């Protein structure tokens, strides 16, 4: 794990919300004593209320909400077991179990401003774990509180005692541990009076929190791999965990309740690794609404961009008030080779622990492991190497099943990753490795040309560093353009997310029963806490900064070159060759922590800016009140359209209606001394740009200066769609403040 200078973050709390695969079970039908009424199936709905509209005869909002439910559920006398949560900070309203008819009638009730049916979210790792959460046992050395002083007096969070979790396990490092599962329990028909446990039975929560803020631990590693001193990005930051899942999944109502509690407890940084398969407008996305509530309370929110790459417009969590993070590789490999019968050597990765310079030649056979593995017969697989050709996320699990069936080895071809650099190294229990798309194509061609194809394995069981080209953007990392607002560039940034070492819970054995203190896994879930930890360092240095300022510092200092001085590559496949990554893939670039702590200039934005942005999107007053309860009407729209938001990146869309766009930005100087910045830019040949002014002179601390960028397309009539890219930079001898510019020609 990347090392950072240890900043004493005695006043900082980093919060993690983590979700995973969803459940599909419905609650039992509601029964009553009226035979003419058919049984009804209920679901969870999140009801937004106009909290100012509470009738005066109700003493509090909760009493009012119960009266609403009673009025629209005439056959139900007890409403206490139907209201799951009440919200009053990031969201105003409540989560409730309703039938579809009840929900339809309640949506029209006085004081109700909107409602959505519960949505399900997915864990953003390249594995499919069965559970996630938190287990702060001291055997996870990443949570030791050595050298940390007293917790700040304003902190309101705590650890909750449950049947299998003792709050005394928390310490001055781990400040809070709570779980939220009322909606998931109700959905499963298991809702009761039990207190949900925050204990980690999967390891994911331990892993991501150790990446962001784990304490320094010497001689850490997974078996013989990646051994050394491990530490989080902000090793002196405090951690609070809010688990929003049960054993089978999580719901948006539970996640919203977790965010609400984290904000009330007083966290500074909120890290969430979750995603859905389809993005909604911001007013119809409870996670975006909750994140906006956190932003309005001064909390920096960072979220993964999802693992649905390498397809176009797959990026998720794309609101401008959240930092959207993609995943990239590091200069570390776990090499293993497959030698074909014709002498060709294919390079892969593996965490198989038995060293071998070359096994004997073994017969190869194809399998679509995702659908066929449960039906593997001993007589079919005995003594053979299985080549998996599907896109399943658990090659090590397939290897375990194959070993039980009598197979001799497994080769998993990851068709989303061009080279092995982006593939996930797996702790196979039998000889096995993962290949990228390029090597997979060569393997397929060989097997097609031979009646009896064979191969042998070689395993060095070594960790090789500083030899491979890095970073590359992982193929699984989701891409733009932004599916909700194309004029806003997403993802914002990429960070290490491939084969990341992190702490692991002893309550979370690997699929084969082995237990480890540290595990190596991949996903945008792993990239996101890297950014959260760096954000904590920035917050410590600049405690008065807004979330937008922190986001700006991270974006404008991001790198676009790899360790060989070349453009960062896009490892996504399938394609004919590996290519340079564009801003639709990297956003502003790869995070650079040290530069982010001294960004020179920053772009700021706040609640009023985001309201103007949403007004420009033609959101109605009713829709905006879901995000801003006190909203009355739009008073301003952005002159240059949604792209005119004061954001650290640009998207310029040309079509047959206009070939000129003028966008305005405002920057604030960070240092307290006089500074002068000059403009520098690179744009495609078919674009002409004019920046006014070309020099920014700052004479006072925190001084603000604005500039305009006028972009003109020289293309004429747009006949075909396409993208091209450039950048704008403000520079002096000490700083380069860089903003990517994405140009789209849209027919």
Question: Is there a cis peptide before residue 693, judged by omega within 30 degrees of 0?
Answer: yes
Least confident interval from 206-215, 379-388, 544-553: 206-215
- Give the SS3 label for residue 263: helix
Calculate the alpha carbon distances from 658 to 489, 642, 661, 692 in Å.
Answer: 20, 15, 8, 21
Residue 378 covered by a domain: yes
pLDDT(1) > 60:
no
Note whether 433 and 510 are same-domain residues.
no
Give 336-360 as a 3 state SS string. Answer: EEEEECCCCEEEEECCCCCCECCCC
Residue 344 covered by a domain: yes
CATH number at residue 161: 3.40.50.200
Q: What pLDDT score does 539 carry? A: 96
Give residue-wise pLDDT tens across range 691-746: 999 999 999 999 999 999 999 999 877 777 899 999 999 999 999 999 999 999 99
The structure tokens 């942005």 sit at 613
Note whether 567 and 489 are same-domain residues.
yes
Q: What pLDDT score does 247 carry? A: 52
Note whether 129 and 275 are same-domain residues.
yes
Calculate the alpha carbon distances from 701 to 257, 541, 674, 688 in Å.
Answer: 40, 16, 8, 34
d(CA 453, CA 432): 17
The enclosing H or E element of 18 equals: strand 13-18
Region for residue 298 given its phi and psi (left: phi exceeds 0; alpha: psi -120 to 50; beta: otherwise): left
Average pLDDT rounded to a whole number, residues 530-534: 95
- Give the SS3 label for residue 746: coil
Note whether 310 and 339 are same-domain residues.
no
Give residue-wise pLDDT tens across range 623-657: 999 999 999 999 999 999 999 999 999 999 999 88
Least confident interval from 49-58, 385-394, 724-733: 385-394
CATH number at residue 733: 2.60.40.2310
Average pLDDT rounded to a whole number, residues 17-37: 31
Residue 619 covered by a domain: no
Q: What pLDDT score does 203 carry? A: 79
Q: What percent of the chain has pLDDT over 70?
A: 89
3-state helix, strand, coil in the chain (%, to 5): 20, 30, 50
Whether the Cβ atoms of residue 516 and residue 504 lie closer than 8 Å to each other: yes
Q: How confident is the model at residue 16 (pLDDT cuts 50, 70, 90)?
A: low
pLDDT(90) > 90:
yes
Residue 34 covered by a domain: no
Question: Of 462, 490, 517, which residue is a domain's last?
Answer: 462
Whether the Cβ atoms of residue 16 and residue 257 lie closer than 8 Å to each other: no
Give residue-wise pLDDT tens across range 342-354: 999 999 999 999 9
Whether the Cβ atoms of residue 546 and residue 520 lie closer than 8 Å to each other: no
Whether the Cβ atoms of residue 500 and residue 220 lie closer than 8 Å to each other: no
Give residue-wise pLDDT tens across range 313-342: 999 999 999 999 999 999 999 999 999 999
Q: What pLDDT score does 181 carry? A: 84
State which of 111-115, 367-371, 637-641 shows the largest mean pLDDT. 637-641
Q: How confident is the model at residue 75 (pLDDT cuts 50, 70, 90)?
A: low
Mean pLDDT, the chain, whole residue set = 87
CATH number at residue 431: 3.50.30.30
- From the list 305, 355, 372, the residue with the least C-alpha distance to 122 is 305
Q: Which residues pair with 86 in a beta bridge?
A: 94
Note whether 655 and 672 are same-domain residues.
yes
Q: What is the number of other CB atoms lying within 10 angstroms of the CB of residue 541?
A: 13
Q: What pLDDT score does 718 carry? A: 75
pTM for the predicted model, two decimal places: 0.90
> Domain range spanning residue 108?
42-117
Give me the DSSP letters along 651-719.
Answer: EEEEBTTBSEEEEEEEEEE-SSS-EEEEEEEE--TTEEEEEE-SEEEE-STT-EEEEEEEEEE-S-S--
Q: Which residues touch 426 (CB under 8 Å, ≥6 apart)?
A: 350, 351, 395, 396, 399, 412, 432, 434
Whether the Cβ atoms of residue 548 and residue 610 lie closer than 8 Å to each other: no
Give residue-wise pLDDT tens across range 193-223: 566 777 767 777 888 888 998 888 889 999 9
Q: What pLDDT score does 135 carry? A: 34
Note whether 278 and 363 are same-domain residues.
no
The number of folded domains in the chain is: 4
Q: 651: which 2 tokens? A: 């998207």
Question: Of 462, 483, 514, which residue is a domain's last?
Answer: 462
Note whether 146 and 109 are same-domain residues.
no
Q: How confident is the model at residue 74 (pLDDT cuts 50, 70, 90)?
A: low
pLDDT(416) > 70:
yes
Note whether 183 and 318 are same-domain residues.
yes
Question: Of 77, 102, 117, which residue is a domain's last?
Answer: 117
Note whether 661 and 733 are same-domain residues.
yes
User: Angle at the Cα of 275 (from 619 to 255), degrees rounded to 5?
Assistant: 80
Give me the DSSP letters along 455-482.
Answer: EEEEE----EES-S---EE-TTS---S-
pLDDT(459) > 60:
yes
Residue 667 covered by a domain: yes
Residue 395 covered by a domain: yes
Note whether 268 and 157 are same-domain residues.
yes
Q: Which residues touch 24 (CB under 8 Å, ≥6 apart)?
A: none
d(CA 233, CA 214): 8
- Give the SS3 label for residue 189: coil
Q: How confident is the model at residue 605 (pLDDT cuts 50, 70, 90)?
A: very high
CATH number at residue 54: 3.30.70.80
CA dihedral over 195, 201, 204, 210, signed as positive or negative: positive
Q: Are strands 323-328 and 493-496 parallel, antiparallel or unpaired?
A: parallel
Indicate the length of the chain as a whole number: 747
Note whether 529 and 656 are same-domain residues.
no
Whether the Cβ atoms of residue 187 and residue 253 lie closer than 8 Å to each other: no
For the chain, the straight-line distance linking the first and the last C-alpha, in angstroms and rounded, comes to 45
Q: 655: which 2 tokens? A: 């079509």
pLDDT(137) > 50:
no
Residue 515 covered by a domain: yes
Note whether 454 and 475 are same-domain residues.
no
- From the list 325, 329, 211, the residue with the least C-alpha distance to 273 is 325
pLDDT(134) > 60:
no
pLDDT(25) > 80:
no
Give residue-wise pLDDT tens across range 249-261: 668 899 999 999 9
The enclosing H or E element of 388 equals: strand 384-388
Q: Which residues touch 184 (CB under 8 Å, ≥6 apart)?
A: 23, 245, 246, 248, 249, 250, 251, 254
Residue 386 covered by a domain: yes
Q: What pLDDT score does 3 carry? A: 34
Question: Is there a cis peptide before residue 201, judged by omega within 30 degrees of 0?
Answer: no
The structure tokens 């197979």 sit at 407
Half-sphere exposure of 661 (CA within 13 A, CB side): 25
């Amino acid at each position: 794990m990347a090392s950072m200078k240890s900043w004493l973050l005695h006043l900082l709390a980093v919060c993690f919300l983590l979700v995973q695969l969803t459940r599909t079970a419905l609650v039992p039908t509601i029964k009553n004593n009226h035979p003419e009424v058919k049984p009804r199936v209920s679901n969870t709905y999140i009801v937004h209320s106009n909290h100012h509209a509470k009738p005066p005869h109700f003493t509090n909002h909760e009493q009012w909400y119960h009266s609403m439910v009673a009025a629209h559920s005439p056959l139900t006398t007890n409403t206490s077991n139907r209201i799951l949560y009440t919200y009053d900070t990031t969201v105003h309203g409540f989560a409730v179990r309703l039938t579809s008819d009840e929900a339809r009638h309640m949506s029209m009730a006085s004081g109700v401003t909107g409602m959505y049916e519960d949505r399900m979210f997915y864990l953003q790792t390249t594995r499919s774990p069965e559970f996630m959460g938190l287990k702060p046992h001291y055997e996870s050395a990443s949570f030791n509180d050595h050298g940390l002083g007293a917790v700040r007096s304003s902190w309101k969070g705590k650890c909750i005692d449950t049947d299998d979790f003792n709050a005394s396990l928390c310490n001055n490092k781990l400040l809070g541990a709570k779980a939220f599962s009322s909606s998931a329990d109700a959905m499963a028909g298991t809702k009761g009076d039990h207190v949900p446990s925050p204990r980690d039975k999967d390891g994911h929560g331990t892993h991501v929190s150790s990446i962001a803020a784990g304490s320094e631990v010497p001689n850490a590693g997974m078996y013989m791999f990646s051994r050394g001193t491990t530490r989080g990005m902000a090793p002196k930051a405090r951690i609070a965990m809010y688990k929003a899942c049960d054993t089978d999944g999580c719901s948006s109502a539970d996640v919203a309740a977790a965010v609400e509690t984290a904000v009330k407890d007083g966290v500074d940084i909120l890290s969430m690794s979750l995603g859905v398969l389809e993005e909604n407008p911001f007013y119809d996305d409870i996670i975006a609404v909750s994140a906006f509530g956190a932003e309005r309370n001064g909390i920096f929110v960072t979220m993964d961009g999802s693992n649905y790459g390498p397809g176009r417009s797959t990026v998720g969590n794309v609101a401008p008030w959240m930092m959207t993070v993609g995943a990239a590789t590091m200069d570390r490999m776990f090499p293993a080779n497959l030698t074909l019968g014709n002498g060709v050597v294919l390079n892969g990765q593996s965490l198989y622990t038995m060293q071998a310079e070359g096994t004997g030649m073994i017969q190869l056979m194809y399998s679509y492991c995702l659908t066929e593995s449960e039906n593997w017969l001993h007589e079919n697989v005995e003594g053979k190497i299985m080549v998996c050709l599907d896109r399943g996320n658990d090659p090590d699990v397939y290897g375990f099943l194959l070993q039980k069936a009598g197979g001799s080895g497994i080769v998993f071809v990851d068709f989303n990753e061009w080279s092995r650099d982006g593939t996930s190294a797996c702790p196979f229990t039998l000889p096995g490795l993962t290949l990228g798309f390029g090597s997979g194509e060569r393997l397929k061609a060989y097997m097609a040309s031979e009646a009896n194809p064979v191969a042998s394995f070689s395993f060095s069981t070594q960790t090789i560093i500083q030899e491979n080209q890095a970073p590359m953007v992982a193929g699984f990392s989701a891409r733009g353009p932004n599916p909700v607002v194309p004029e806003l560039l997403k993802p914002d940034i990429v960070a290490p997310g491939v084969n990341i070492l992190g702490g692991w819970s002893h309550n979370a054995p690997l699929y084969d029963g082995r237990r480890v203190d540290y595990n190596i896994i991949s996903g945008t879930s792993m990239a996101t806490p890297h950014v959260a930890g760096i954000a904590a360092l920035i917050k410590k240095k600049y405690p008065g900064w807004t979330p937008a300022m922190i986001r700006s510092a991270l974006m404008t200092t991001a790198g676009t070159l790899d360790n060989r001085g070349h453009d960062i590559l896009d490892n996504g496949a399938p394609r004919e060759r590996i290519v340079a990554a564009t801003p639709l893939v990297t956003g502003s670039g790869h995070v650079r922590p040290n530069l982010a702590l001294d960004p020179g200039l920053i772009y700021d934005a706040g609640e009023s800016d985001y309201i103007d942005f949403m007004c420009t999107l033609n959101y109605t007053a009713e829709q905006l009140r879901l995000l801003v309860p006190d909203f009355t009407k739009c008073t301003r729209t952005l002159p240059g359209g949604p792209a005119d938001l004061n954001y650290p990146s640009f998207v310029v869309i040309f079509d047959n209606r206009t070939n000129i766009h003028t966008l305005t930005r405002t920057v604030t100087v960070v240092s307290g001394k006089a500074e002068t910045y000059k403009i520098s830019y690179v744009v495609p040949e078919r674009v002409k740009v004019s920046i006014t002014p070309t020099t920014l002179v700052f004479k006072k601390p925190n001084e603000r200066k604005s500039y305009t960028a006028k972009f003109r397309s020289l293309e004429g009539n747009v006949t075909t769609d396409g993208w091209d890219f450039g950048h704008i930079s403000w520079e002096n001898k000490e700083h380069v403040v860089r903003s990517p510019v994405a140009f789209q020609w849209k027919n």
